[in-house]
Amino acid sequence: MRILLLVLTAIGLCVAWQCTAPPAVETVTETATLKLVKEGIWFRMGERDQGHCNNVVIDIGDGLLVVDANFPSGAEALMKDIEQVSEKPVRYVFDTHHHGDHAYANAVWTRQGATTLAYIGVAEEMKRYEPAGWQAAAKARPDVAAVGADTVEPPMETFEVVPHTLEGASRKVEFHHFGWAHTRGDGMVFLPDDGILCTGDAIVNGPFNFTGHSNTGNWPNVVKQAEALQPTTILPGHGPSGGPEIAAGQRQFFEELNAAVEAAFADGKSLEDVVTVEDGAGVETVIELSDDVSNWVAARFAEQVRVRYAELAEGKPHGEIVGGP
């Protein structure tokens, strides 16, 4: 009788625990927004209307590596997706560059135990442009203000010698820097065994090229070096994923842009001859490129023309013109 009572009590406790314990999160292969690229590698396109960049999640065996911290709201959305596809913790977050949509959630990730890392140039760019950029963003974005900090949290770890290699328990990861294109600190992530290249904003798929801190003249050289890795899949910082044609198109866009503006400059045409400037930015231009690169041409194109002309007139990268040496 006593044994029966003990058994019944144990059953009652188990039933009570099942009623009160939180439900387990059922893992799935992918979510509506976090798409499986290859086993252990996911790609998430950022919400453009919220200013989010794309993210990549990589299973390295003993944890996960996230490419780009994103804005805080983008990081929180990604965290929810990750919970559904993996029970492993995020151990590393790699900032491809210093811009807010790629790095302003650094503190969000480190508070969860992750280590942020980047090429040394990212930390140096933050010193040039912060805290001004952060404070302006905090006034416009509640998610940045909610972090409760006066400036962006810099990467916890940086490296200068490239490629920098991370040997995970199940996957090798290479971190590259090929020079100054979108920013001085542009970093890329290459998975040599998978043929996958994560490019940040040095290579985008669509009309998303921001040239404010760029070295537009050198941009195609950077892309060419990335192409030399011979990736079969490219996961860009903005726009859909795809194959090597993304890098080829990005390079051709800047080659055509640079050649057209350089030809006008060599012919003695003034800035006003090639681009209409309002409030310091290009709004219209007579420069036209081939249909082959129409994917990368949109509203920003006139400003991209102005930036390249300024580089030729000043004899230095646009990032030096606006941000100092």
Q: Which residues of 243-282 are buried (b: 16+ CB within 10 A; e: fewer)?
A: ebebbbbbbbbbbbbbebbeebbeeeeebeebbebeeeeb
Nearest to 185 by CA among 215, 208, 207: 215
Nearest to 155 by CA among 96, 203, 196, 106: 106
How far apart (Å, rounded) are the C-alpha atoms in residues 288 and 260? 8
What does pLDDT average to over the chain? 93
Residue 173 has pLDDT above 60, yes or no: yes
CB-CB contact of 108 with 72 (8 Å): yes
Does the CA dihedral 201-177-197-78 come out positive or negative? negative
Residue 284 has pLDDT above 80, yes or no: yes
Helix (H, G, I), strand (E, B) or coil at 63: coil
pLDDT, residue 27, reads 81
How far apart (Å, rounded) are the C-alpha atoms in residues 101 and 325? 24
Residue 53 has pLDDT above 70, yes or no: yes
For the chain, the first-to-last Cα distance in angstroms comes to 86
Question: Would you tell me which CATH number, out of the four given (3.90.1170.50, 2.20.28.10, 3.60.15.10, 3.20.20.150), belongs to the domain 24-262?
Answer: 3.60.15.10
Q: Summarize the confidence of residues 48-64 as an average pLDDT.
A: 98
Percent with pLDDT over 70 in the chain: 92
pLDDT, residue 26, reads 72
Its pTM stands at 0.91
Residue 189 has pLDDT above 60, yes or no: yes
pLDDT, residue 78, reads 98
pLDDT band at 179 (very low <50, low <70, confident <90, very high): very high
Nearest to 39 by CA among 67, 12, 58: 58
CB-CB contact of 234 with 243 (8 Å): yes
pLDDT tens digits for 194-227?
A: 999 999 999 999 999 999 999 999 999 999 999 9
pLDDT tens digits for 231-241?
A: 999 999 999 99
Quick one: tokens of 8? Answer: 């019944």
Quick one: tokens of 176? Answer: 């590259």
DSSP assignment string, 246-302: HHHHHHHHHHHHHHHHHHHHHTT--HHHHEEEETTEEEEES----GGGGGG-STTHH
* 62 DSSP assignment: S
DSSP assignment string, 161-198: SSSEEEE-SS-EEEEE----SSSTT--EEEETTTTEEE
